[in-house]
Amino acid sequence: MTNTLHRYSEHYASVAPSHPEPIRDDYIVFAMATRGINDDDLVEKYRTFLHLALEHHPVNVGDATKGGIVRPRQDLNPSAHWRRDHRPDPEQVIAQIEGHTTVAAVFDNYAAMKHFVEELKIADLGISINISAPMAEARRCCEDAGILRHSVEYSVGFSGRVDKLPDATTLELSTMCGHGMIAANFAKKMLEWVKENRRTPEEAARYMARFCSCGVFNITRAERIMKRACNRE
Amino acid sequence: MKIDPDKCVACGNCVPVCPMGAISIEPTIGRATINSDDCVECFACYRGMSKEHLNPLIVRAVRRVAKIFRFRFDPEPDICPTDAIVPQELAWPRIVRRAFSDPQVPHESTGIHGRGTAEVKTNDVTQRVKNGEAGFVVELGRPGVGARFGDIQRVTIALAQLGVEFEENNPVASLMSDRSHGLIREDILKEKILSAIVEIKAPVERVPAVLQTIRDLAREVDTVISIGVSTRCDAAGNDVLGEILEQQGYPAYRGKTNLGLAVSAQ
């Protein structure tokens, strides 16, 4: 799974600006065990990871096999069209962990990520912990937390038929689900609806988040992107 | 995936949610249909949309009345009102579409959900990428374009000619009929998937040459390729890769960092 590796920003544009805007609201910390090696008491380890994360107010948490804090529902009735419940449910994510998966927490600020990583170091869960973020920020976090980086993986961007990709704003939104479950056409539709004032950026971000089946979609960043695109900042 | 014409009310909500753009409203029957050649069986429509289970006859009647008066109903955009999207039982070779497209299906070859590889995310335990090595994740079809195995094979053949090592524990490698030549089994070459990751390893000093080869190859395929490259850090937590990528002019802004916190438990 490389589901958080290639999140588009203008750093990855075919013709990148000389000083692209840093991304300061998208930090992911995730945990993953290896079968047969460090997967004893795995459910408890994952639950501890997410409970620790919740103390730092993540904008999303997820289980790669079940989804994030907002999920589609199978039991809606027509009143949903007027009174949709958009409230997140992180406890549902924690309660439904069953075994091997990847669990993730998404933060919209550096300090929250750093404090969470410091607590993870003390908790010593014995499973692999990764940061997915701008590399310089991840490195700074490790230095601040007194951690020596073990391995790194860089996204070096997109090649080939990039002419088939949608516009930059749509890509910024849709690539926040690296599994590709948020269709570019749906992201475009949500942008249009915000422009037409048919939905707020907050509502539109939650519609998209429901399609992300592992919970790494950054709802706060999506709201910011849509506000910027619709001149509502 | 299919759409049940007896249930569909042609609301159109499912049309934009398909990552491959395979769903449209067929005007002759007034129902949504799925282009089965473009559908990659990712289940985004089936799983991602909420459902109301309404009676289709009533919904169609309401929609007809609203249409007469040109009323624009403003429904929730992520709901299938009549539960009309129906998964099909998939046979070989179509079943590989779902294996490579639906992130909630674990790959049989790796037991991992998603695209089925752990890359360096568990490198502190597995030592998959060792000191002095670089790991490459070459993902064809991402973001949101899709790829056919015929295109993927073009890349694997060229990489095999380069003499690099294919990662053993990888779903694409498990479908190769001849790994030394990068050949993928013939019966799946026309199958379309959301994306697939080809993983290789090479000495870190070969990073510029391998990346250049991949970029050259990218011009020959009918899809987009996302590239990731990884390495093991030294005892002081430093890596040589960032500098190499910067020198070569690659945008290495974002990535993953394995914190090595599993090691103390081993």
Window from A203-212, B20-29, B110-119, B177-186 with minimum mean pLDDT? B110-119
pLDDT tens track for B120-130: 999 999 999 99
Give yes or no for B77 touching A (CB within 8 A): yes
A233–chain B nearest CA distance, Å? 24
Region B156-166: mean pLDDT is: 91
Helix (H, G, I), strand (E, B) or coil at B80: strand
Place of tokens 């409970």: A51
B172-207 pLDDT, tens digit per residue, is: 999 999 999 999 999 999 999 999 999 999 999 999
Is some CB atom of chain B closer than 8 A to the CB atom of A173? no
User: Is B72 an 8 Å CB contact of chain A?
Assistant: no
CA distance A153 to chain B (A): 4
pLDDT tens sequence across B62-91:
999 999 999 877 899 999 999 999 999 999
Give the whole-angstrom CA distance, residue B28 versus residue A8. Answer: 39
Q: Does B21 touch chain A (CB under 8 A)?
A: yes
**A1 falls within a domain:** no
d(CA A73, CA A87): 13
pLDDT at B265 over 70: no
- CATH second-level architecture of B2-88? 2-Layer Sandwich (3.30)
Report which secondary-structure segment, H or E, holds B137: strand B133-140
Q: Is A75 a domain residue?
A: yes
| Nearest-angstrom CA–CA distance, B97 and B192 | 6
Q: At what angle do helices A201-211 and A184-195 cross, to 10 degrees?
A: 170
pLDDT tens for residues A176-197? 998 999 999 999 999 999 999 9
Beta carbons of B245 and A182 less than 8 Å apart: no
Is the model's pLDDT at B253 over the cut of 80? yes
Cβ-nearest to B50 among A37, A76, A102: A76
Query: In this structure, are residues A68 and A215 in contact, taking their beta carbons and an 8 Å threshold?
Result: yes
How big is chain A by its Cα radius of gyration, in Å? 18
Residue A50's CB is within 10 A of a number of other CB atoms, namely 21
The position carrying tokens 């007896």 is B6
Average pLDDT along chain A:
95
Q: How far is A232 from chain B (nearest CA, A)?
A: 22
Q: Residue A166 in contact with residue A158, Cβ under 8 Å?
A: no
Write the CA distances from B164 to B109, B129, B202, integer angstroms: 21, 14, 6
How far apart are alpha carbons A144 and A117 in whole angstroms? 10
Q: Given an 8 Å threshold on Cβ–Cβ distance, is B252 in contact with A154?
A: yes
Nearest to B262 among A127, A164, A207 (CB): A127
Which residues in chain A are contacts of B75 at CB distance < 8 A?
81
Q: Is residue A39 part of a domain?
A: yes
**B132 part of contact set with chain A, CB < 8 Å:** no
Task: Please give the pLDDT value at position A86.
Answer: 87
**Do the Cβ atoms of B139 and A150 come within 8 Å?**
no
Q: Is residue A67 part of a domain?
A: yes
Residue B76: predicted pLDDT: 95
Does A1 score more than 70 pLDDT?
A: no
Task: Please judge whether B252 and A155 are an interchain contact, meaning their C-beta atoms are less than 8 angstroms apart.
Answer: yes
CA dist B35 and B166 (Å) reads: 34
Contact state of B144 with A161 under an 8 Å Cβ cutoff = no
Query: Which has more pLDDT, B50 or A2?
Result: B50
- Asked whether residue A6 carries a pLDDT value surpassing 90, the answer given is yes
Q: Please give the pLDDT value at position B264.
A: 58
Mean pLDDT of chain B: 93
Q: Report the domain count for chain A.
A: 1
pLDDT of res. A188: 98
Choose among B92, B3, B84, B83: nearest CA to B39.
B3
Q: What's the pLDDT score for residue B109?
A: 60
Q: Which of B14, B23, B121, B130 is the mutation pick for testing A, counting most A CBs within 10 A?
A: B121
Residues 113-172, chain A: which have Cβ within 8 Å of B? Answer: 117, 120-121, 124-135, 138-139, 142, 147-162, 164-166, 171
Residue B55 with chain A: CB contacts under 8 Å: none
**Subunit contact A1:B42, Cβ cutoff 8 A:** no
Query: How many Å lie between the alpha carbon of A132 and the closest alpha carbon of chain B?
Result: 4
B4 to chain A, any CB pair closer than 8 A? The answer is no
In tens, the pLDDT along A28-64 reads: 999 999 999 999 999 999 999 999 999 999 999 999 9
Domain ranges of chain B: 2-88, 106-265
Q: At what angle do helices A184-195 and A219-229 cross, to 10 degrees?
A: 60
Neighbours of A49 (CB within 10 A): 25
Residue pLDDT, tens place only, B140-155 = 999 999 999 999 999 9
- Alpha-carbon span B39 to B146, nearest angstrom: 10
* Model confidence band, residue B208 (pLDDT cutoffs 50, 70, 90): very high
Whether residue B266 is predicted with pLDDT greater than 80 in this model: the reply is no
**A-chain residue closest to B146, CA distance:** A180
List beta partners, residue B176.
B184
Closest Cα of chain B to A22: distance in Å? 9
- Between A26-30, B165-169, B224-228, B240-244, the lowest mean confidence (pLDDT) is in B165-169
Do the Cβ atoms of B25 and B31 come closer than 8 Å?
yes
Structural domain including A74 reads 10-229
Helical (H) or strand (E) element with B201: strand B196-203
Under the banding of pLDDT at 50, 70 and 90, the label for residue B111 is: low
% pLDDT > 70, chain A: 99
Residue A121 inside a domain? The answer is yes
Find, among A2, A70, A25, the residue nearest to A212 by Cα: A70
- Whole-angstrom Cα distance, residue A104 to residue A54? 11
Q: For the segment A118-174, what is each residue's pLDDT rounded down to a tens digit?
A: 999 999 999 999 999 999 999 999 999 999 999 999 999 999 999 999 999 999 999
Q: Do A154 and B254 count as a contact with CB atoms less than 8 A apart?
A: yes
The pLDDT score that the predictor gives to residue B108 is 67
| Strand ranges inside A140-217, DSSP E | 151-160
Q: Which of A5, A154, A163 is nearest to B115 (CA)?
A: A5
Q: Compute φ and ψ for B21, nearest 5 degrees.
A: 65, 35
Q: Which of A114, A131, A155 is nearest to A7 (CA)?
A: A155
Query: Is residue B181 less than 8 Å (CB to CB) from chain A?
Result: no
Between CA B143 and CA B216 the distance in angstroms is 19
